[in-house]
Structure 1
Amino acid sequence: MLQLELWKRILIWGLVAAGLVLALPNLFYSRVEQSNDAIAAIEAGIDTPENQEIAAQWPSFLPSGLINLGLDLRGGAHLLAEVKVEDVYAQRMEALWPEVRDALRDERATVGTIRLQESAPGILRVRISQPDGMATAIQTVEGLARPVTSLTGAGATDLAVSSDGADVVVQLSDAEKQATDQRTLSQALEIIRRRIDEVGTREPTILRQGTDRILIQVPGIGSADEVKEIIGTTAQLTFQPVISRTTNAETSPGVGNELLPAVDEPGLFYVLEQAPVVTGEQLTDAQPSFDQNGRPAVNFRFNPQGARKFGDYTAANIGSPFAIVLDGEVISAPTIQSHIPGGSGIITGNFTIEESTNLAVLLRAGALPAGMDFLEERTIGPELGQDSIDAGKLACMVAGIAVLVFMFASYGLFGIFANIALIINVAMVFGVLSMLGATLTLPGIAGIVLTIGMAVDANVLIFERIREELKTAKGPARAISLGYEKALSAIVDANITTLITAVILFAAGSGPVRGFAVTLGLGIITSVFTAIYVTRLLVVMWFERKRPRTIEV
């Protein structure tokens, strides 16, 4: 009849207790958040008495997981950036020129002299003095091509080589452009995420939109300008040979070269070879430090490939200057004093401590593969986020009170059991969200409000079924037992269809829609658990204690 084994009772109450304990930190949100931040600072090496005191604000034996507040609740910055993928095409062609030059020099007897020509970005144009050798020139350059490393480009090569009069025209193939776009967006997403994580913000939203755009939402940061300072700098570090220095900004650098300004000396410009010796992509580490004069600087270290190139270049060019270029500006142009075989060095300049630290963060996180244009930027103040939280609290309270009153008025004591289960249900939703480290947004609050309204549906089905069974005069124990058994199929069917909808919303939707789907889906699971098991356990415990001859539902 009405029986629940001891192990089932222990399991039910254990799950309820776990949910309540996991949800507990959210009642002391500010205190727990400060404690977590202090613990993270201590683990990072900032072990100060102040951090120790703040970390002790929350007992270590209690869970400390919190529901992260989204941009619309905490406030923060919203940016929509467009990645300039064409820049990558141009960089590839600039880096390819030394290889093309060396390959064609080996065929000088057939193609004659070679000369780099002015061309549009992303196109490499090389003129040969003997047009009769064009077929040989094209075949030689095609020999530099590599297979496209993507599923869609299987069987294709990365270079498209053609002729235009006496010029050999080289550009990326369509398959390689498509693969490059995919790699560029993926790399930009990862680097932006690493840079923002280095700053320590909470649960940023970084998503790809379309073919060349990235959505960036960073809760808890002061303004969109702060985010742009973190991610807007490409941090393209290159080491380039120096041809000459000049104070004339109108100096023509010549084909294959470029004119860049010096950061430390206004009015001074350097003529550099465009093709770098090594780039920041070959860096493995960068740390803020101080030079021999005690001024802020940045130590760096190359990977084996970069170290070999750097060592070979310094060995062959002792006494010559070379430029350290960051984002199109020469920050230092030292003279090579000796062979540097270790693949490590130091970047000096007129840095402040903060600037050297930020530069190290940017270099360590990696260089953005291309520049970005910010198409949309918004700053959401914390006051607006607090207004949203207050509105969400009010909505939950109104919905909760209305449901509690309705259930008590309709079902009396059994309605009280349902109300207890509803409160446990909401607490378990918050507990699971805290355990997952989920981000709560306004749509997520809407999902919780909807859960409150739907949570009692299962209890209504059960209680109405018990009423029907009581009319057959089978006794209260038998009526309660049959009520739960016969209502189970209807409860499962109704909630499975809603759960399928939540799964589809999560799979097909973006950020806000997914937030709604997560809270709705979790609410469905916990409401079924509390309706079928928690209310039943409450009814069984009450029935065992009172042993009523009749019941009113």
Structure 2
Amino acid sequence: MKLKNLSKFIGLFIIIVFFAYAAISGVNIGKFNIDPMKNSIKQGLDLQGGVFVVYEAQTDATGEELNKILDQTIEVFRKRIDGMGVSEPVIVKEGEKRIRIELPGVKNAKDAMDAIGKTAQLKFLKEDGTVVVTGKEVKTSEVKFDSRTNEPIVSLEFNSEGAKKFADATRELAPTHSPIFIVLDEKVISSPGVNQEIPDGQATISGNFTVESASELSNLIRAGALPVEFKEVQTSTVTASLGVNALNKSVTGAAVGILLVMLYMLFYYRVPGLVADIALTAYILIIMYIYAQMQVTLTLPGIAALILSVGMAVDANVIIFERIKEELKNGKSLRASIDSGFAKAIGTIMDSNITTFIAGIVLFQFGTGSIRGFALTLMIGIIASFFTAIVITKTLMKSLVHANIVKNKKFFGA
């Protein structure tokens, strides 16, 4: 029994050490590969440097109509940014009428804003470049389903002027089944062939569409026809050197703070403090690997939330250890004190974690930008801290005590 519990303690310790090494240096064993965390975790604009801009829709539209306008515009912005070659841009709604764009790694703010902020130009062209109609003459564009094949198609409707122009063009192109090129910002987004004259201004685009691809094309066509103006309300550039300095200082500060906490736990609680330090290391690793797996973008507020959640993880251990000390002073054995200490502490830990988690949900729901990042990081940290305190710390403590390596209650802070 003693050997079994000692093996459990040593095995868990070795696993934590292995993943700690993998997080720092990476591991490559055959097909098994773990990249270093510095290469796996995405860095936000404030750490990597780059450009961000906030646009506001100049419209009185509300509700579903406003959401449709914003969704269409986001599709246009995304297409333009993809063409710039920016890796991992952030394009999100902010507030009711605003769109926030973050471009990590972009150095020239003016060129970036000129590229993504220009008015969308939608044109329907013949093969020789002749303009048939423009986006201003498109009334609606939406996804429908073919009544015969039940496949998704894109339905178009033009205004009266556009319908006449489109009828003339399709009458000319139908005999040869020539295509009409749909061009947005000088890039062809579709080139359907003309099979027949379309006299009523109502056309459909069919092909091997999925619902998603048909919806994307429909949004792009509508976006080019939108009369809504977007005003640039905020722009800022974060230099790469500033981001690197912020990251280095944040990491250094976090490392020093965590080290001081570990030393305090070790000297004050002794054996439980050592267990807490091992569990805290496991907690940090769990957080890092979750970030990498979920592709969480790490920002300065996110680092702040991580440090805050580290404090919460330590608090959970402090509550448990103080309960254990009380049981030991009441004359109970080590095993009984540990069981009773964990049982009595779990309610308090649950209450503190739940209240903070609710605050995180509220921040995530109603916050924007970096506030949402802070909230997400905090909620992940709360879940991980509860797991490490209740599962890992308890497993390590009970394995160590059952192995009978340390029997003196003084080494447990009593």
**TM-score, length basis structure 1:** 0.55
- The residue that corresponds to 1:61 in the other structure is 32
Describe the SS at the equivalent of 1:207.
Answer: strand
| CA distance in 2: counterparts of 1:491 and 1:390, whole angstroms | 32
Change over 3 Å in CA distance of 1:468–1:239 after alignment to 2: closer
Alignment partner of 1:395 out of 220, 232, 253? 253
Alignment partner of 1:513 out of 358, 368, 371? 371
| CA distance in 1: counterparts of 2:396 and 2:341, whole angstroms | 15
- The residue that corresponds to 1:446 in the other structure is 304
Conservation of the 8 A alpha-carbon contact between 1:470 and 1:479: yes
- The residue that corresponds to 1:360 in the other structure is 187
Conservation of the 8 A alpha-carbon contact between 2:140 and 2:156: no
Give aligned-pair identity as a percent. 31
Conservation of the 8 A alpha-carbon contact between 1:77 and 1:377: yes
Matches within 5 A, 1:219-298: 219-239=104-124
Pair member with larger Rg: 1
| CA distance in 2: counterparts of 1:478 and 1:303, whole angstroms | 70
Give CA-to-partner distance per residue, 1:284-341, whole Å, 9 cap, x none: 9xxxxxxxxxxxxxxxxx968689988842365x6xxxxxxxxxxxxxxxxx8x9553
Alignment partner of 1:81 out of 47, 55, 78? 55
Aligned residues: 358
- The residue that corresponds to 1:501 in the other structure is 359
Alignment partner of 2:177 out of 341, 345, 348? 341
Conservation of the 8 A alpha-carbon contact between 1:310 and 1:340: no
1:519 maps to a residue whose letter is T
1:62 maps to a residue whose letter is N
Describe the SS at the equivalent of 1:234.
Answer: coil
Conservation of the 8 A alpha-carbon contact between 1:68 and 1:437: yes
1:214 maps to a residue whose letter is I
1:471 partnered with 2:329: yes
Give CA-to-partner distance per residue, 1:234-293, whole Å, 9 cap, x none: 34233599xxxxxxxxxxxxxxxxxxxxxx9xxxxx9x9988897698799xxxxxxxxx
Give CA-to-partner distance per residue, 1:75-121, whole Å, 9 cap, x none: 11111223354xxxxxxxxxxxxxxxxxxxxxxxxxxxxxxxxxxxx
Change over 3 Å in CA distance of 1:200–1:537 after alignment to 2: farther
Structure 2 unaligned spans of 5+: 144-152, 191-216
Conservation of the 8 A alpha-carbon contact between 2:57 and 2:98: yes
| CA distance in 1: counterparts of 2:170 and 2:394, whole angstroms | 81
1:341 maps to a residue whose letter is H
Conservation of the 8 A alpha-carbon contact between 2:56 and 2:233: yes
Structure 1 unaligned spans of 5+: 33-56, 86-173, 242-263, 265-269, 285-301, 319-335, 348-355
1:487 maps to a residue whose letter is A
The alpha carbon displacement at 1:516 in A equals: 1.3
Give CA-to-partner distance per residue, 1:33-74, whole Å, 9 cap, x none: xxxxxxxxxxxxxxxxxxxxxxxx997632568322111111
Describe the SS at the equivalent of 2:81.
Answer: helix
Change over 3 Å in CA distance of 1:506–1:274 after alignment to 2: closer
Q: What is the root-mean-square deviation in Å for CA atoms of aligned residues?
A: 4.4
| CA distance in 1: counterparts of 2:394 and 2:69, whole angstroms | 56
Describe the SS at the equivalent of 2:364.
Answer: helix
- The residue that corresponds to 1:404 in the other structure is 262
Give CA-to-partner distance per residue, 1:452-496, whole Å, 9 cap, x none: 222111111111111111122222221222111221211111211
2:54 maps to a residue whose letter is L
| CA distance in 2: counterparts of 1:482 and 1:200, whole angstroms | 58
Give CA-to-partner distance per residue, 1:416-455, whole Å, 9 cap, x none: 1101111111111111111111111111000011122221
Structure with the larger helix share: 2
| CA distance in 2: counterparts of 1:19 and 1:197, whole angstroms | 40
- The residue that corresponds to 1:160 in the other structure is none
- The residue that corresponds to 1:201 in the other structure is 86
Q: Which has the higher contact order (CA 8 A, sep 6+)?
A: 2
